[in-house]
Amino acid sequence: MHIVVCIKQVPDSAQIRVHPVTNTIMRQGVPAIVNPYDLFALEEALRLKDQFGGKVTMLCMGPPQAEDALKKCISFGADDAVLVTDRAFAGADTLATSYALAAAVRQISREQKVDIVFTGKQTIDGDTAQVGPGIAKRLGLQLLTYVSRIAEVDIENDRITVERRAEGGVQVLRTAMPCLITMLEGTNEMRFAPLENMIHAARYPVRKWSKEAAGIEDITKIGLKGSPTVVSKVFGPTPRAEKALMQSVEDASPRDVTLNVIQKIFTQHPTLERDILAKATV
Amino acid sequence: MSEKFDVIVVGAGPSGNAAAYTAAKAGLSVLQIERGEYPGSKNVQGAILYANALEQIIPDFREDAPLERHIIEQRMWVLDEQSFVGTHFRSDDYNKPPYNRYTIIRAQFDKWFSSKVKEAGALVICETTVDSLLMDGDQVVGVRCDRQGGEVFADVVILADGVNSTLARKAGFHGEIEAKNVALAVKEILFMPQETIEARFNVKDEEGVVIEMFGKITDGLMGTGFLYTNRDSITLGVGCMLSDFKENPNRTAPYAMLEKMKAHPSIAPLIAGGEMKEYCAHLIPEGGFYAVPKVVGNGWMIVGDSGGFVNATHREGSNLAMTTGRLAAETAIAAKTAGKGFNAKALANYKAALDESFVMKDLHKYRDMPNVFHDNSQFFTTYPELVNRAAQTMLTVDGIDKKTKEKEIFSSFRKSRTLAGLAGDAFKLWRAFR
Amino acid sequence: MSEAEAKKPAARGGRNLELPEHLKAYKGVWVFIEHDRGVVHPVSWELLGEGRKLADTLGVSLAGVVMGGADEALDAIAKEAYTFGAESCYIVRDPVLKGYRNEPFTKGMTDLVNKYQPEIVLLGATTMGRDLAGSVATTLSTGLTADCTELRIDPATRALAATRPTFGGSLLCTIMTLAYRPQMATVRPRVMQMPDADPSRSGVIVEDRLAMIETDIVTKLLDFIADENNNKVNLAYADIIVSGGKGMKSPDNFKLVWELARVLGAEVGATRPVVQSGWVDAERQVGQTGKTVRPKLYIAAGISGAIQHRVGMEGADVIVAINTDANAPIFDFAHHGIVGNAMQVLPVLTETFREHIAMRSRKAA
Ligand SMILES: Cc1cc2nc3c(=O)[nH]c(=O)nc-3n(C[C@H](O)[C@H](O)[C@H](O)COP(=O)(O)OP(=O)(O)OC[C@H]3O[C@@H](n4cnc5c(N)ncnc54)[C@H](O)[C@@H]3O)c2cc1C
Ligand SMILES: Cc1cc2nc3c(=O)[nH]c(=O)nc-3n(C[C@H](O)[C@H](O)[C@H](O)COP(=O)(O)OP(=O)(O)OC[C@H]3O[C@@H](n4cnc5c(N)ncnc54)[C@H](O)[C@@H]3O)c2cc1C
Ligand SMILES: Nc1ncnc2c1ncn2[C@@H]1O[C@H](COP(=O)(O)O)[C@@H](O)[C@H]1O
């Protein structure tokens, strides 16, 4: 079984700071990590490989530094890694990204037929959850999003059964491979790489593809040019005009403070009191 | 796992990077192991880089290293509660390249240095902690990590694991660190727009200012405060000896001390509006010359903070770290070339090279400083107050003649210390600085 | 949110930002009405409310899109859609559309768009809406903005200006699709206000067929396993939420949160670290990677107010925060702040509420 896992290198959003004056992201010094959601996809791919044998190829589109993210995936046990990197990709939105990644998957499948493409549910910087469906549509793959469990793989007949998270329940879906799966978070736990893998990964020569090497024919479909969405403005959340009405239990007894708060709330929002009276269990 | 390298370097701070780079550049096979998520992730932010030590390792580092500002002005402030007495030294000579000192942000600098290490051919692995050293009799032959199959071998292991160096202690190479030999520093990075920094500190472009402080700021403890200007942030911090923190009757928490310093009327306006980006606390080995342990043995060498190579008086650490790292690597290279094994004798040249370098010479020169300051807390409390009061008395124009004022000042010094005591203090200081 | 108008972005990198002539015919606002096993997801009504405003600004009509199986009550759904402001509904009825599947729904939606040419298409940012939106946008080669928190019409271009959080909520960005149609966006449940239903409104149905038969479709829906306690935790739509953070210190102290919630008939929410520590179920997490809530009252105990939490709850009508740290960021956006130890304040608050309620219900009786 040949599995391609798409990962993105993202700035660790927990450590991102916004310039208080210019409202621009201060990327400097913010560590880049493998998009955490993608690790669930990778772990699932590795489990399938453990079970059925085969090969896991990592795919990432990004700047040259994204090599580190791919190497990290090699340390977890992926077999090969391709970094699609070209200045022409800069400024890509999800439509252009999925075009480039779809081309690269096609190229990879020329080397060896691909059975499953995995992506994460979404990225923590883009947060769109659109790239996976986009790749699937472009490659004509069956699309399985928000997969919480892979129930069965029938290699002989190229069939796969999965559980897909939906609102209020789980859909059980069966489809034909090749397919594209976006994996739900929290579905598995990434393994801890043995030392040997760490050293192997540090040595691993990640393959770097330019747009030509990735087999991209139509350059109007990549990068900024291929992106229909236009970011017109970036700004910080506006603080609430008035600060909270503050009271401290140091200045008054907790009882007085809470009485005061309750009275204020109910005077300002009389319907709230009605709702509470209707529901409350005293 | 039976892989064997020429050199294993534990830690990817300045000392470890210097060692790994030097060894790999010379063609040795090098494995560097760092426990942090990436090199620099565990390291204290914002510092001064002394160019010379790095120049000897990467001569053209200025081309792409992430440098913030070069220092053109150094201020020394002696602080009282409300005031300071200070000197400012600013020279246009400092504005002529190649510059000698820069402010850096460690997380970025370490990451850059690590990329050079990789380019030089070393294998760098992160998120991996070395738990212990592998021994063959009394010869170190490798390390054991916290990962499955975690044993890996090398001719030489260079310990660059920072101030806590649990590895060396575990292996019995040196004893517990004494609280009186380490300082606890807390520091913060405050974000501030470039223009504001340049206006407040009277600098332009990439010029920077350093303020060194001591006095009331440390609440009578032995320690100092500092403030550096980065490109669009300010690093400021305060450090005190760990032992003093423990014994301080006021029990001032390190962070409270930093807050107090930030509120000082001379400092507050400089940092007003700064947005806190990062806060951290870190230990600095400040025991100096007498606290340097045995640094070389059979198959091992200790470099950087883990060997206590810090010149506290001049707040130099990373330059000593890089120099000791380089010298250790050069020793390993020579031993490899000589082909006579890697026992303590084969590596003995490391200690000799250290003694020859500024590292041990400077540590020796300032060998008495820690004790002098430690035993004479008046340097940090009474004197700053007196000096400040003196300045104020002299500068306040209030109809009292200057001679009377001088007398007043002199007697206030006498009141807090006998003449002999004052002379003794001066002598002690002179001897320590000599 | 800033009131400043989005400037018309400059064309960079040789990109065309003018709407081509043939796309100018695209008119009207559509909302995809999501339903599953007879139940319409409330986000669809929220979107109709929002779509109504957009349509009015543009002076165009608002339509709902309802797709489903032959035996589903699609007309009833359309009727309800009118009460929330739709003037018409496009209904695609076909046996293969029973139960959501990507392939037939994508085809149904893209066919409708190509035929009737709406300028704006809105979907809920649910597992169904996001799955469908991504596929449809790619098939139509148009722009899609995910997880929007604000939708407006840019007066200069008459284009949809969709605002969404980015970089984990630390920033907001406004995104427009200028040279492509339709303009697509998904919006999370509970971000937009639920509109009032007006039963007097009506509309017209446009029925369409789907040119697909079951054997064309590769993916089969074998089963649907409904969540057991499906109705138990309904955080997103709760009116009152009492939430606890890491400041509660232990699972034992967290019981104080439950106790207040019980008295108020409220749901219990939590921050991510609390969920990660296993004190409560993941379903109770509020925030960027949890639920977006919009209760009338949100009580936050021992919560610092990190941006990732804030984006999930700042839409609450009243926020009461209890925190020992007077400088905690939560006080920047709470309405009432109590500086104090939650372990001490919560029991008193619970007791005061209890007394107040007892008194008022006695009076009412
Ligand atoms: C507040 C403060 C201000 C300072 N200011 C300056 C200044 O302005 N200028 C200056 O020159 N110096 C300054 N110093 C000193 C300087 O930071 C240090 O001397 C220098 O960082 C020492 O480098 P190092 O490589 O020896 O140790 P470190 O930088 O501490 O690096 C040690 C590395 O080893 C890793 N490690 C530790 N144990 C293990 C293990 N078991 N397995 C794997 N990895 C491990 C750690 O994660 C770390 O990355 C300052 C120090 C402090 C605390
Ligand atoms: C990609 C990403 C996604 C995330 N998504 C979410 C998300 O969806 N939801 C979410 O909540 N978080 C999320 N987080 C985590 C978020 O950044 C914060 O870490 C988290 O919200 C903090 O939770 P907390 O307020 O409970 O804990 P803390 O930040 O530890 O705050 C505890 C607070 O309790 C106060 N306190 C302490 N003791 C007491 C006492 N006795 N009485 C009263 N107050 C006390 C403290 O002053 C402090 O303010 C996300 C983070 C990342 C990186
Ligand atoms: N530049 C990229 N390179 C590789 N995979 C990507 C890239 N961008 C997105 N993906 C994949 O698509 C998924 C959804 O991303 P997004 O639509 O940005 O939320 C991610 O979890 C990744 O698996």
Stated length of chain C: 365
- Is B88 part of any domain? no
pLDDT for residue B85? 82
The phi, psi pair for B419, rounded to 5°, reads: -60, -40
Which residue reads 């460690």 in tokens? B106
Q: How close does chain A come to C75, measured CA to CA in Å? A: 22
Residue B383 shares a structural domain with residue B429: yes
For residue B92, tell me if it sits in a domain: no
Q: Let me know if residue B99 belongs to a domain.
A: no
On whether both B203 and B310 belong to a single domain, the answer is no
The DSSP annotation for chain A comes to -EEEEE--EEE-GGG-EE-TTT--EE-TTPPEEE-HHHHHHHHHHHHHHHHH--EEEEEEES-GGGHHHHHHHHHHT--EEEEE--GGGTT--HHHHHHHHHHHHHHHHHHS---EEEEES--SSS----HHHHHHHHHT-EEEEEEEEEEEEETTTTEEEEEEEETTEEEEEEEESSEEEEEPTTSS-PPPPPHHHHHHHHH---EEE-TTTTT---GGGSTTTT--EEEEEEEPPPPPSSPPEEEETTTS-HHHHHHHHHHHHHHH-HHHHHHHHHH---
Same domain for C248 and C188, yes or no, is no
Give the rounded distance of the alpha carbon of B63 from its chain centre. Answer: 24
Same structural domain, C164 and C307: no
Give yes or no: residues B311 and B399 share one domain. no
Residue closest by Cα to atom 50 of ligand 1: B317
**Closest Cα partner for A77 from A160, A241, A190, A161?**
A190
Closest partner CB to A29 (pick from B107, B150, B151)? B107
Residue in chain A closest to C40 (alpha carbons) equals: A167
B148 and A192 within 8 Å at the Cβ level: the answer is yes
Confirm if C221 and C99 have CB atoms less than 8 A apart. Answer: yes
**Partners of B31 in beta bridges:** B8, B123
What is the pLDDT, as a whole number, of residue B73? Answer: 93
Task: Judge if B123 and B13 occupy the same domain.
Answer: yes
**Residue B422 domain-assigned (yes or no):** yes
For residues C41 and C187, state if they share a domain: yes
Structure tokens at C111: 């066919």
Q: Which atom of ligand 3 is nearest the CA belonging to A6?
A: 5
Entry field: residues in chain A: 282
**Residues C191 and C337 occupy one common structural domain:** no
From A192, A221, A250, give the residue that closes a domain.
A221
End-to-end CA distance of chain A: 61
A277 found inside a domain:
yes
- The residue segments making up the domain with residue B203 are 180-285
Neighbors of chain A with 3 or more C-beta pairs under 8 Å:
B, C
- Domain assignment present for residue C52? The answer is yes
Residues C147 and C107 grouped into a single domain? yes
Q: How confident is the model at residue B163 (pLDDT cuts 50, 70, 90)?
A: confident
Indicate the Cα dihedral angle B124, B127, B131, B134, nearest 10°.
-30
pLDDT above 70 for A281: no
- The Cα B177–Cα B357 span in angstroms is 25
Could you tell which of A57, A125, A131 is best to mutate to test the pocket of ligand 3, judged by most ligand atoms within 8 Å of the CB? Answer: A131
Considering the domain boundaries, does residue A230 fall inside one? no
CA distance B13 to chain A (A): 16
Instruction: List, in order, residues 6 or more apart from B376 with CB less than 8 Å away.
Output: B425, B428
Q: Is B394 helix (H, G, I), strand (E, B) or coil?
A: helix
Does residue A234 form part of some domain? no
Q: Cα separation of B301 and B325, whole Å?
A: 9
Query: What phi and psi values does residue C22 have, to the nearest 5 degrees?
Result: -70, -15
Q: Per the CB < 8 Å rule, is C13 touching A224?
A: yes
Distance from residue B44's CA to the centre of ligand 1 (Å): 7
The confidence score (pLDDT) of residue A276 equals 82
Q: Is residue A209 part of a domain?
A: yes
State which residues form the domain around A30: 2-221
Nearest to A119 by CA among C130, C103, C183, C308: C130
**Interchain contact, A195 vs B147, CB within 8 Å:** yes
User: Could you tell me which residues come within 8 angstroms of residue B44 by beta carbon, excluding any fewer than 6 positions away?
Assistant: B106, B185, B187, B280, B282
Q: Does the residue C121 lie in any domain?
A: yes
CATH code for the domain of B149: 3.50.50.60
Same domain flag for A116 and A174:
yes
Residue C104 shares a structural domain with residue C26: yes
**Closest-CA distance of chain C to residue A60, Å:** 19
Final residue before a domain boundary, out of C216, C250, C276: C216
The residue whose CB lies within 8 Å of the most ligand 2 atoms, and thus the one to mutate among C171, C272, C307, C349, is C272
Domain that holds residue C17: 13-216
Q: Does A20 touch chain B (CB under 8 A)?
A: yes
| B384 and B402 assigned to the same domain | yes
Backbone angles phi, psi at A194, to 5 degrees: -70, 160
pLDDT tier for residue B410 given thresholds of 50, 70 and 90: confident
User: Which of the listed residues C283, C286, C323 should we mutate to test ligand 2's pocket, taking the one with most ligand atoms within 8 A of CB?
Assistant: C323
**CATH number of A19's domain:** 3.40.50.620
ipTM of the complex: 0.82
Contact across the interface for A193 and B147, Cβ inside 8 Å: yes
- Tell me if B312 is assigned to some domain: yes
Q: Is the pLDDT of residue B277 over 90?
A: no
For chains C and B, having 3+ Cβ pairs within 8 Å is answered: no
Ligand with smallest separation from the Cα of A133: 3
**Is residue B148 located within the same domain as residue B20?**
yes
Lowest mean pLDDT of A109-113, B190-194, B254-258, name the range. Answer: B254-258
Q: Which of C150, C184, C216 is the last residue of a domain?
A: C216
CATH code where residue B261 lies: 3.30.9.90
* C163 bridge partner residues: C150, C174
Among candidates C102, C331, C337, which has minimal Cα distance to C217? C102
Q: Cβ of C146 and A23 within 8 Å?
A: no
Q: Is the pLDDT of residue B354 over 60?
A: yes
Q: What is the pLDDT of residue B428?
A: 63
Q: What percent of chain B has pLDDT over 90?
A: 45
What is the helix (H) or strand (E) element at residue C32, kind and residue range?
strand C29-32
Residue of B285 and B32 predicted with greater confidence: B32
Shared domain for A264 and A160, answered yes or no, is no
- Is the domain of B152 the same as that of B298? yes
Pocket of ligand 3 (CB under 6 A): A 6-8, 35, 37-38, 59-62, 94, 97, 101, 119-120, 122-123, 126-132
B148:A194 CB<8 A: yes
Residue of C nearest to A246 (CA): C337
Q: Which residue in C41, C221, C352 is closest to A173 by CB distance? A: C221
Both A105 and A182 in one domain: the answer is yes
Mean pLDDT of B315-332: 93
A31/B108 CB distance under 8 A = no
Domain assignment present for A235 = no
User: Residue C193 falls within a domain, yes or no?
Assistant: yes
Whether residue A226 lies inside any domain: the answer is no
Please tell me the total count of domains within chain B: 3
Does a structural domain hold residue A20? yes
Whether A73 and A185 map to the same domain: the answer is yes
Whether chain C has a CB inside 8 Å of the CB on A35: the answer is: no
Same-domain status, B232 and B310: no
Note the pLDDT of residue B222: 61
Ligand 1 and B285: CB distance under 6 A? no
CB C96, CB C214: distance < 8 Å: yes
Could you tell me if C288 and C165 are in contact, meaning their C-beta atoms sit under 8 angstroms apart? yes
Indicate if B205 and B250 belong to the same structural domain. Answer: yes
Q: CA of A196, closest CA in chain B: separation in Å?
A: 7
Examine the domain organization and report whether B281 and B206 are in the same domain. yes
CATH number of the domain where residue C276 is located: 3.40.50.1220
What's the pLDDT at A119? 98
Per-residue pLDDT of chain C (365 residues), as tens digits, is: 343 444 445 555 567 788 999 999 999 999 999 999 889 999 999 999 999 999 999 999 999 999 999 999 999 999 999 999 999 999 999 999 999 999 999 999 999 999 999 999 999 999 999 999 999 999 999 999 999 989 999 999 999 999 998 776 677 899 999 999 999 999 988 889 899 999 999 999 999 999 899 999 999 999 999 877 555 567 888 889 999 999 999 999 999 999 999 999 999 999 999 998 999 988 899 988 788 888 999 999 999 998 889 888 988 889 999 999 998 989 988 999 999 999 999 999 999 999 988 888 777 66
* Domain count along chain A: 2
What is residue C89's predicted lDDT score, i.e. its pLDDT?
Answer: 97
Q: What is the pLDDT of residues B381-409, one digit of tens each?
A: 677 777 777 777 777 777 888 888 788 87
d(CA B185, CA C152): 51
Backbone dihedral angles phi then psi of residue B399, each to the nearest 5 degrees: 85, -10
Structure tokens given for C37: 């096993």
User: Which pLDDT score is estimated for C182?
Assistant: 97
Cβ <8 Å between A20 and B151: no
Q: Is residue B302 part of a domain?
A: yes
pLDDT number for residue C226: 87
What's the pLDDT score for residue A267?
A: 86
Is residue B171 domain-shared with residue B121, that is, in the same domain?
A: yes
Q: What is the mean pLDDT of residues B217-232?
A: 79
Indicate if ligand 2 lies below 6 Å from the C-beta of C145: no
Out of A177-186, B291-300, C356-365, pick the least confident: C356-365
How many independent structural domains does chain C possess? 2
C208 and C90 in a single domain? The answer is yes
Residue B405 zone, left/alpha/beta (φ > 0; ψ -120 to 50; rest): alpha
Residue C14: predicted pLDDT: 63
Are C140 and C241 part of one and the same domain?
no
C319 and C191 within one domain: no
Cβ density class C178-215: b for 16+ within 10 Å, e for less: bbbbbbbbbbbbbbbeebeeeeeeebeebebebebeee
Least confident of A40-44, A113-117, B57-61, B278-282: B278-282
| Same domain flag for A187 and A276 | no
Distance CA C305, CA C246 (A): 11
Residue list for the binding site of C for FAD: 271-272, 285-289, 302-309, 323
Q: Are A153 and A116 in contact (CB under 8 A)?
A: no
Q: Are A34 and A7 in contact (CB under 8 A)?
A: yes
Residue A228 lies in a domain: no
Cis peptide bond prior to B66, omega within 30° of 0: no
For residue B28, is it within any domain? Answer: yes
Same domain, B60 and B160: yes
Determine the distance separating the centroid of ligand 1 and the alpha carbon of B144, expressed in angstroms: 22
pLDDT digits (tens, 9 = 90+) for A92-107: 888 999 999 999 999 9
Question: What pLDDT, in 10s, does the model give residues A26-84?
Answer: 666 677 899 989 999 999 999 999 999 999 999 999 999 999 999 999 999 999 999 99
C341 and C194 fall within a common domain: no
CB B70 within 8 A of CB B207: yes
CA B108 to chain A, closest CA, distance in angstroms equals: 5
* Same domain assignment for residues A249 and A199: no
Within a domain: B148? yes
Helix crossing, B318-338 with B358-365: angle to 10°? 140
